[in-house]
């Protein structure tokens, strides 16, 4: 995992974690990295200093503790609540997400809350066509073991 400091075209700064540098680049090219403040998908990496302790046995300071550690559990709780809300208030459409969302956007089927999976090329096409969608920060229940 790699953490990047990011900035959108509206000068909002934020951080996000990615599986790898290649994963970030692929998501960025597919316009799937968006500013949490304004939704802009024009996002670029900014200069950041790594949070590394000076000595291997040194205690980590609050500023050097990775966000993923989340010692108080607030992040995990918030993600669990978001997941429960999405799963109880939306229909899971699996790999048909792009087709369903596009059909709703075009007025071909009634609008409803849905979630599922989408391939990067489908996500890019949806973004180009103005179909509203956001990536979820969790794996849908149907995809977990």
Q: Give pLDDT tens digits for 28-57.
A: 888 888 888 888 888 888 877 666 666 655
- 36 and 81 housed in the same domain: no
Task: Please check whether residue 83 is in contact with residue 77, taking contact to mean a CB–CB distance below 8 angstroms.
Answer: no
pTM of the model: 0.50
- 78 and 131 housed in the same domain: yes
- 83 and 124 housed in the same domain: yes
Structural domain that includes position 19: 1-48
Among the three residues 48, 64, 81, which one is the final residue of a domain in this structure?
Answer: 48
**Residue 144 counted as domain residue:** no
Summarize pLDDT for 67-117 with one digit per residue, the tens.
555 556 788 888 888 888 988 999 999 899 999 999 999 999 999 999 998
**Residue 3 counted as domain residue:** yes
**Residue 93 counted as domain residue:** yes
- 35 and 84 housed in the same domain: no
Question: Does pLDDT of 60 surpass 80?
Answer: no
Question: Does pLDDT of 63 surpass 80?
Answer: no
**Residue 132 counted as domain residue:** yes
- 83 and 129 housed in the same domain: yes
Question: Does pLDDT of 18 surpass 70?
Answer: yes
Domain count, the chain: 2
- 34 and 81 housed in the same domain: no
Query: 59 pLDDT band (50/70/90 cuts)?
Result: low
pLDDT value for 20: 82
- 33 and 82 housed in the same domain: no
- 44 and 79 housed in the same domain: no
**Residue 57 counted as domain residue:** no
Query: 136 pLDDT band (50/70/90 cuts)?
Result: confident
**Residue 14 counted as domain residue:** yes
- 79 and 129 housed in the same domain: yes
**Residue 122 counted as domain residue:** yes
DSSP for residue 59: P
Task: Please check whether residue 69 is in contact with residue 92, taking contact to mean a CB–CB distance below 8 angstroms.
Answer: no
pLDDT value for 3: 83
**Residue 68 counted as domain residue:** no
pLDDT value for 77: 85
Question: Does pLDDT of 145 surpass 50?
Answer: no
């Amino acid at each position: 995992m790699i953490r990047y400091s990011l900035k959108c075209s509206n000068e909002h700064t934020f951080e996000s974690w990615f599986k790898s540098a290649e994963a970030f680049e692929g998501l960025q090219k597919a316009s799937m990295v968006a500013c949490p403040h304004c939704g802009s998908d024009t996002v670029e990496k900014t200069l950041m200093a790594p949070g590394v302790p000076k000595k291997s046995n040194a205690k980590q300071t609050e500023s050097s503790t990775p966000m993923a550690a989340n010692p108080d559990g607030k992040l995990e709780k918030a993600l669990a609540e978001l997941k429960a809300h999405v799963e109880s208030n939306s229909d899971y459409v699996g790999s048909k997400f792009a087709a369903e969302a596009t059909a709703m956007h075009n007025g071909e089927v009634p609008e409803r809350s849905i979630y599922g999976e989408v391939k990067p090329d489908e996500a890019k096409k949806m973004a180009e066509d103005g179909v509203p969608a956001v990536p979820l920060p969790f794996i849908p229940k149907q995809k977990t073991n």
